[in-house]
Structure 1
């Protein structure tokens, strides 16, 4: 590293390092050929899912990645790279990137660093096929609640069936 780096570069490295430490999922894209207006649309779409799109110099990102212990990310930093710092729902971020790249072929999703593991483009798009966090949580709640609902129904059926049996017995005795 340069012995006396400029303060602006030190600040950028620190910003990137902090973001890399704060986010478990970071997507890497190539934006070559995208117009500024397209990038603004992409940023807007990513903001709706809690993600943030930033463009930094690759050399500064490499330094920050090493400092943050995210060395695997360095492999994806070729050509003009934009970083997407995912919010809490990585699947929603992957979906937003996939949808945008379908309509804007200039955006190339290179891969992602997912909780320390490097994902290629196909793995990112597979992540995009997962249901959203809210849907997964609702499915989990349904799985947890199903046995309780069945148990409550069985408990409710016991006295009801007993009452039907008594009524049938009473009716049978009255008929005899």
Structure 2
């Protein structure tokens, strides 16, 4: 990389760190190109991204962002997973780490809150934003469904009563 490409990479990463809701730092020593491609595909499907960059450039890009405290995690062959959904990147990274022993989750952060590897794993167990939205809609719809059932119940009972008298007589 020449100087201009490095500067462009630092600028791009700085934008990523300023916009992302969560950043997960991983170590990926020994992963094949096919495995990294599969990881990127899974990340994209979940609404997240995965990037491998030089540690020195990442540390420069971290300056002035909420994730500046992550600098100490960038040692050795590292990668970053990031997303606007606070759970997506962590979920995919943890699942991928379970299947590949060469891929380790080192830590991460949500804004200025630094997470160790266990914190990222705990974050991965939470439901995603889409799942939470579905649950909220279900909770909002449930009372309306119950009200409709209660309103229909007396009419149904009256209809059964009239039917019973009609078949009896």
TM-score, structure 1 as length reference: 0.78
Matched, 1:98 2:114: no
Q: CA RMSD in A?
A: 2.7
Does residue 46 of the first structure (1) align with residue 27 of the second (2)?
A: no
1:12 corresponds in structure 2 to 9
Paired residue for 2:138?
142
**CA–CA distance in structure 1, aligned partners of residues 12 and 88 of structure 2:** 24
In 1, Cα distance between equivalents of 2:53 and 2:66: 18
Alignment gaps of 5+ in structure 1 = 172-176
1:64 equivalent in structure 2: 61
Question: Does 1:35 pair with 2:1?
Answer: no
SS in 1 for 2:63: helix
1:134 offset after TM fit, Å?
2.7
Alpha-carbon contact 1:49-1:87 (below 8 Å) kept:
no
Give yes or no for the alignment of 1:23 onto 2:49. Answer: no
User: SS of the counterpart of 1:96?
Assistant: helix
Is there any run of 5+ residues in structure 2 with no aligned partner, and where?
none
For 1:67, what is the secondary structure of its paired residue? coil
What secondary structure is seen at the aligned counterpart in 1 of 2:145? helix
Alignment-derived partner of residue 121 in structure 1: 117
How many pairs are equivalent? 164
Q: Larger Cα Rg: Structure 1 or Structure 2?
A: 1
Change beyond 3 A, Cα 1:19–1:92: closer
Q: Hey, what does 1:154 align to over in structure 2?
A: 150
